[in-house]
Amino acid sequence: MSDPRPIGVFDSGVGGLTVLADIRDRLPYEHTIYFGDTARVPYGPRDLAEVRYFAFEIVRYLVDQDVKLVVIACNTAAAAALKALQRSFDVPIVGVVEPGARAAVQETRNRRVGVLATEGTVRSGAYRQAVHNLDAGVEIYEQAAPDFVPLIERGVTGGPELEEITRRYCDPLMEKGVDAVILGCTHYPLISATINRTLGPGVRLISSAGQTSLEAARTLSRRGYLRRPENQEDYGRARYVCSADPEEFAALGGRFLDEEIEAVAPAAVA
């Protein structure tokens, strides 16, 4: 049995492309639709109820596109809305928080875990709860990093400004002696080189993208939803939608994916 319906992936902007890239690597025959809510990025400073409303709006859009799975490639949206979305829609929905928490619990040796995240994700306590559901003895130290997403959405992924801001956010975690740090926003892997250099070789960076793509693959396999191609060259197609400035999204997204994005459709929401 083969299910040709696409996987829907959404984020507040381009950051979720890190998750999309992992999904496409792991599931190369699957069609995908990526929704970047660039008109309303960043989500982090917003009230969680407002983010929840945005998430419902976008999931309805993706369901109307007949997706077979939704991946919330945004930590703030997953923290604000995952459970409510799962209760409200028949389509399976996967978030990024629990896979990242699981990886951190497995990687830490001294049971001191740091979280770099948006203000909204930190306020929600989603990572603290997810980690403690797995290991109540792990100490969690959360650090909001509100300046990262605006910088990344401007295309800034290196340089002295980013170095200074990264040091400011990482120093409190280093003072706590963490040996693993969760990148609690899907934008942050795009600046992981700077974060890794700042934290040093003794701290393991945890990106939830790979773990999330694995969970997506397992969910599709369990439900019999995988696409079975007719031949080995029948790769999945990627479609892109955004809520503001498709040309800017194509340019920045193509840079982050290291491939040309030929077309981006304007969103029917926002």
Residue appearing with tokens 């299910």:
3
Nearest-angstrom CA–CA distance, 146 and 44: 7
The answer to whether the CB of 27 falls within 8 A of the CB of 236 is yes
* Model pLDDT, residue 230: 83
Beta bridge partner(s), residue 112: 139
Nearest-angstrom CA–CA distance, 225 and 160: 46
Mean confidence (pLDDT) of the chain: 95
Helical spans, DSSP H, in the chain: 17-26, 48-64, 75-88, 97-107, 119-124, 126-134, 148-153, 160-175, 192-199, 208-223, 246-257
Which residues fall within 8 angstroms of residue 199, CB to CB, at 6 or more apart?
A: 170, 173, 174, 181, 205
Residue 270 pLDDT greater than 70, yes or no: no
Query: Nearest to residue 117, comparing CAs of 127, 108, 107?
Result: 127
* Greater pLDDT, 168 or 1: 168
The answer to whether the CB of 2 falls within 8 A of the CB of 226 is yes
Query: Nearest to residue 62, comparing CAs of 234, 260, 268?
Result: 268
Q: Average pLDDT in the 154-167 region?
A: 96
* Model pLDDT, residue 210: 83
**CATH topology agreement for domains 7-95+210-266 and 97-208:** yes
Q: Average pLDDT in the 183-193 region?
A: 94
What three-state secondary structure class fits 240?
Answer: strand
Residue 196 pLDDT greater than 80, yes or no: yes
The answer to whether the CB of 203 falls within 8 A of the CB of 177 is no
Q: In this structure, is the dihedral angle defined by the CA atoms of residues 50, 168, 153 and 107, taken in order, positive or negative?
A: negative
The domain defined by 7-95+210-266 carries CATH number 3.40.50.1860 = yes
pLDDT category of residue 10 using cuts at 50, 70 and 90? very high
Residue 143 pLDDT greater than 70, yes or no: yes
170 is known as an active-site residue? no
Q: Which CATH number fits domain 97-208: 3.40.640.10, 3.40.50.150, 3.40.50.1860, 2.40.30.160?
A: 3.40.50.1860
Q: Average pLDDT in the 223-232 region?
A: 92
Task: Give the C-alpha distances (Å, rounded to integers) separating 1 from 42, 225, 234.
Answer: 40, 8, 16
Tens of pLDDT along 66-104? 999 999 999 999 999 999 999 999 999 999 999 999 999
For the chain, the structural domain boundaries read 7-95+210-266, 97-208
Catalytic annotation, pick one of 41, 59, 74, 93: 74
DSSP 8-state code for residue 189: G
R_g over Cα of the chain = 18
| Tokens of residue 177, six digits | 């002696």
CB atoms under 10 Å from CB of 163, counted, come to 13
Tens of pLDDT along 231-263? 888 999 999 999 999 999 999 999 999 999 989
- The identity of residue 41, as a single letter, is V
Task: Give the C-alpha distances (Å, rounded to integers) separating 208 from 39, 48, 66, 90.
Answer: 25, 21, 26, 24
* Model pLDDT, residue 66: 98
* Model pLDDT, residue 211: 86
Catalytic annotation, pick one of 116, 185, 238, 261: 185
* Model pLDDT, residue 268: 66
Phi-psi region of 66 (alpha: psi -120 to 50; beta: other; left: phi over 0): left
What three-state secondary structure class fits 33?
Answer: strand
Task: Give the C-alpha distances (Å, rounded to integers) separating 26 from 75, 192, 229.
Answer: 21, 21, 15
Residue appearing with tokens 């040093």:
200
242 is known as an active-site residue? no
- pTM, to two decimals: 0.91
* Model pLDDT, residue 189: 93
